[in-house]
């Protein structure tokens, strides 16, 4: 690839190898090369500017979970050597809580979650990123309810007046990447499915999903068949029934030897105005960053992976209600 080291054969190879080099090979200093000095990194928990913050955050996570593994599940990508690339990298990540850190004193408990990172890459450097870790899934497996962990976060960060605010588009900065993905039909198909779900047309699940669909969702939860995926999407939309839904980025792939796949980054912005996953409606203004990956088989959509950060959502609700202690 033009502008990239010749040790990488293509973009997926680059993404998978540098992830392992940084995390499992302990190459934190390589972030000075692989991540742009002024990179904007958007997490549901907030916006981080610059690779120094990325390095410090990676070190803190490894200190808390020193046996952490990041296993590449898929890389769904778009772009080219001249205009730059965007990779949507789905990982299965595991670790044992043996150190002090963001989740408190060591519990010795082990977690397994998914994470999805949308990374813009050009000339061997990541210069823009959107990352969702299943923080609620980690919290649950370490013994927290996501709402309680959000409350703990607020306290640890100095209280409601000084704690880090979750990400909201009004806080965003324009990074180098301005693309919207590609025009592949599978990306358009997934975007249409998500739009219909958010328009409360849940018939799309039984018409477009394989009856034996395997779903992996936030909170380290999953299920087989239509019932699980229908119920999860209905409960999410019911919590924010009037929130504005937006497709922020979409990629489709039809690669030889692989199932047809798509990656869509999306958002919901609006009031916590209904019952569902997040308790009694509070009227809190909430922004949700979401990423969905999908694979198709001969009977329709057969694998769906969707991540949001429940803890960041609860944090916004608790800051609104004042229930921070």
In DSSP notation, 160-188 reads TTTSPPPP-GGG----S----B---HHHH
Classify residue 145 by its DSSP letter.
Answer: -
Instruction: Please state the rounded mean pLDDT for residues 50-71.
Output: 93
**pLDDT above 80 (res 31):** yes
* pLDDT band at residue 32 under the 50/70/90 scheme: confident
pLDDT digits (tens, 9 = 90+) for 254-292: 999 999 999 999 999 999 999 999 999 999 999 999 999
Query: Rounded mean pLDDT of the chain?
Result: 96
**pLDDT above 70 (res 128):** yes
**pLDDT above 70 (res 300):** yes
Distance of CA 209 to the CA centre of its chain: 22
Nearest to 301 by CA among 225, 231, 238: 225
**pLDDT above 90 (res 42):** yes
Rounded to whole angstroms, the Cα distance separating 314 from 279 reads 10
Residue 263 in 3-state DSSP?
strand
**pLDDT above 80 (res 70):** yes
Task: Give how far Cα 190 sits from Cα of 86, 193, 194, Å.
Answer: 17, 5, 6
Rounded to whole angstroms, the Cα distance separating 31 from 51 reads 7
Ranking 18-27, 133-142, 205-214, 280-289 by mean pLDDT, the lowest is: 18-27
Residue 97 structure tokens: 């809580």
Strands 221-224 and 69-80: unpaired
pTM beyond cutoff 0.95: yes
pLDDT of 323: 79
pLDDT of 325: 64
pLDDT digits (tens, 9 = 90+) for 170-192: 999 999 999 999 999 999 999 99
Domains of the chain and CATH, by start: 11-144 (3.10.450.50), 185-321 (3.10.450.50)
Within a 10 A sphere around the Cβ of 5, how many other Cβ atoms? 11
**pLDDT above 80 (res 215):** yes
Residues 109, 97 contacting (CB under 8 angstroms):
yes
Instruction: Please state the rounded mean pLDDT for residues 99-116.
Output: 97
pLDDT digits (tens, 9 = 90+) for 71-88: 999 999 999 988 899 999
| Max intra-chain CA distance, the chain | 55
Nearest to 319 by CA among 151, 119, 113, 139: 151
The position carrying tokens 């080291």 is 5
Distance of CA 92 to the CA centre of its chain: 12
Distance of CA 264 to the CA centre of its chain: 11
Residue 66 structure tokens: 């020193």
pLDDT of 179: 94
Rounded to whole angstroms, the Cα distance separating 136 from 145 reads 8
pLDDT of 27: 84
The percent of residues above 90 in pLDDT, for the chain, comes to 90
**pLDDT above 90 (res 49):** yes
pLDDT of 199: 98
């Amino acid at each position: 690839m033009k502008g990239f080291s010749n040790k990488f054969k293509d973009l997926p190879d680059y993404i998978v190898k540098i992830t392992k080099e940084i995390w499992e090979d302990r190459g934190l200093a390589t972030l000075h090369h692989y991540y742009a000095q002024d990179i904007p990194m958007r997490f549901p928990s907030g916006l981080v500017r610059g690779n120094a913050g990325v390095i410090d955050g990676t070190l803190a996570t490894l200190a808390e979970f020193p046996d952490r593994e990041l296993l590449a599940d898929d890389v769904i990508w778009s772009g080219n050597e001249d205009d730059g690339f965007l990779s949507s990298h789905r990982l299965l990540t595991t670790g044992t809580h043996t150190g002090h850190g963001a989740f408190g004193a060591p519990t010795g408990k082990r977690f397994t979650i998914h994470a999805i990172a949308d990374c813009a890459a050009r000339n061997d450097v990541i210069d823009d990123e959107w990352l969702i870790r299943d923080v609620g899934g980690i919290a649950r497996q370490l013994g927290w309810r996501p709402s309680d962990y959000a409350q703990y976060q607020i306290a640890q960060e100095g209280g409601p007046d000084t704690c880090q605010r979750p990400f909201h588009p009004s806080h965003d900065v324009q990074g180098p990447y301005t693309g919207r993905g590609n025009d592949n039909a599978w990306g358009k198909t997934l975007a249409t499915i998500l739009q219909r779900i958010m328009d409360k047309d849940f018939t799309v699940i039984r018409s477009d999903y394989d009856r034996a669909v395997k779903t992996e969702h936030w909170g380290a939860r999953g299920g087989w068949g239509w019932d699980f995926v229908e119920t999860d999407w209905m409960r999410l939309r019911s919590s924010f029934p009037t929130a504005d839904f937006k497709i922020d980025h979409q990629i489709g792939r039809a690669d030889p030897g692989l199932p047809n796949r798509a990656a869509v980054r999306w958002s919901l912005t609006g009031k916590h105005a209904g019952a569902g996953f997040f308790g009694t409606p509070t009227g809190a203004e909430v922004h949700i960053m979401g990423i969905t990956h999908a694979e198709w088989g001969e009977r329709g959509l057969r694998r769906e992976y969707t991540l949001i950060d429940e803890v960041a959502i609860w944090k916004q609700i608790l800051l609104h209600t004042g229930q921070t202690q």
